[in-house]
Amino acid sequence: MFETLKPQPADKILALMQMYRDDPRETKIDLGVGVYKNAEGVTPVMRAIKAAEHKLWEEQTSKSYVGLAGDPAYSDAMIKLILSDSVARGNIAAAATPGGTGAVRQAFELIKMANPGARVFVSNPTWPNHISILNYLNIETVAYRYFDRETCGVDFDGMVADLKTANKGDVVLLHGCCHNPTGANLNMVQWQEVVAILNERGLIPMIDIAYQGFGDGLEEDAQGVRYVAANTPECLIAASCSKNFGIYRERTGLLMAVSQDAGAQALNQGTLAFLNRQNYSFPPDHGARLVSMILNDDALRADWAAELEETRLGMLALRQQLADELQRLTGSDRFGFLAQHRGMFSLLGTSPEMVEKMRADSGIYMVGDSRMNIAGLNTQTVPILAQAIVDAGV
């Protein structure tokens, strides 16, 4: 049997991570995988997570199964964090998943189950694993224009024109905030316009929100998703705690199915539990429990939010420093977009050849599409990167 297997393509982001590890150069800079690193290049365990783990170790008396949808306290806390009171709790079905990827995967499976003919519209570009999972599930994808390579902002006219070609029942995958890989995001007026098109054409929004708190702030980053949830008949939301709680390896995510028809909640909830059962039975609990402990404890929550805010402001400062440095070196404002982008990533908008040149000549590791993880920088490495960008002739 095994001899029939074919080699699978390596995930580009994860392959780059390995290449970086294998590079002996001391001056190498890792701007690849989307993992936050502080100025010392460390991905820290957040203070509130440590405190919650300590408390959990003292208080937890059993590791028995929880429930197919995970701990309801976790779902409640995350729903509040993401959706606030934009939608009544009774209209939301939710299940814990292994990380944000697990939520994305379960959402796609639900789409396939509910409407096998649905196509999924994805931004061009999007997180490569969106497309990889959709292909694996044999779900047709259609790319919609999103990134304007001239301005390095959103090509909103292109996006609108392409969404208007979608048919009733098609799904539109949107990034809740901090678009991965581009860093270019919709403003509120644009979110409203997108929702009008979705409703006009009977399209189903699916939102992937993996970086809440990394862009303009915890509340600000959720405005788009809240607007969609409150103003469309149905939507799916896949959320991750990997980044904003720094618990990457704990695999902590949540899938929500929101319907304006409260009567649909029980069926949706049962479907999410069923999908969990088919794929892995019970979702991981450790990370989810830490998250709900933090969100439900005023002191832990305040400390977590403060540390997240420091992280966010640190990334913004690095963005500004890089834009300023490039302005100084080139005498032009053409890299000003780096300070406008939000979140962990920015797409430089350059060719794979240039990206490879920067890796070979200067030991700078960015993803082949020229996505840079801003959190991979520190104040000392920003000028090195800026010089490498200029030397490569970007």
Catalytic residues: 127, 208, 210, 243
Contact 293, 353 (CB under 8 A): no
Q: Which is nearer to ligand LMR, 13 or 254 (CB)?
A: 13
Residue nearest to ligand LMR (CB): 34
Sign of the torsion formed by the C-alpha atoms of 165, 171, 177 and 180: negative
Query: What does the alpha-carbon distance between residue 284 and residue 378 come to, in Å, rounded to a whole number?
Result: 34
User: How far is C-alpha 368 from the geometric centre of its chain's CA atoms?
Assistant: 19
**Which residue, 39, 111, 119, is CA-closest to 257?**
111
**Which residue, 237, 283, 234, is CA-closest to 260?**
234
Q: Which is nearer to ligand LMR, 75 or 101 (CB)?
A: 101
For the CA atoms of 137, 368, 156, 333, the dihedral, rounded to the nearest 10 degrees, stands at: 170
Using CB under 6 A, pick the residue from 20, 36, 127, 304 that binds ligand LMR.
127
Beta carbon of residue 11, minimum distance to ligand LMR (angstroms, whole number): 7
The verdict on whether omega for the bond into residue 181 sits within 30 degrees of 0, i.e. cis, is: yes
- 33 contacts ligand LMR (rule: CB under 6 A): yes
Beta carbon of residue 34, minimum distance to ligand LMR (angstroms, whole number): 3
Q: Which is nearer to ligand LMR, 51 or 207 (CB)?
A: 207
Q: How many residues bind ligand LMR, per CB under 6 A?
A: 6
Beta carbon of residue 126, minimum distance to ligand LMR (angstroms, whole number): 10
- 365 contacts ligand LMR (rule: CB under 6 A): no
Contact 172, 207 (CB under 8 A): no
Query: What does the alpha-carbon distance between residue 374 and residue 348 come to, in Å, rounded to a whole number?
Result: 11
Beta carbon of residue 242, minimum distance to ligand LMR (angstroms, whole number): 7
Q: Which is nearer to ligand LMR, 156 or 365 (CB)?
A: 365
Contacts (CB under 6 A) with ligand LMR, residues 146-185 = 180
Contacts (CB under 6 A) with ligand LMR, residues 291-350 = none
Q: Which is nearer to ligand LMR, 11 or 361 (CB)?
A: 11
Contact 122, 141 (CB under 8 A): yes
- 34 contacts ligand LMR (rule: CB under 6 A): yes
The verdict on whether omega for the bond into residue 98 sits within 30 degrees of 0, i.e. cis, is: no
Contact 91, 259 (CB under 8 A): yes
Beta carbon of residue 175, minimum distance to ligand LMR (angstroms, whole number): 11
Q: Which residues bind ligand LMR (CB under 6 A)?
A: 13, 33-34, 127, 129, 180
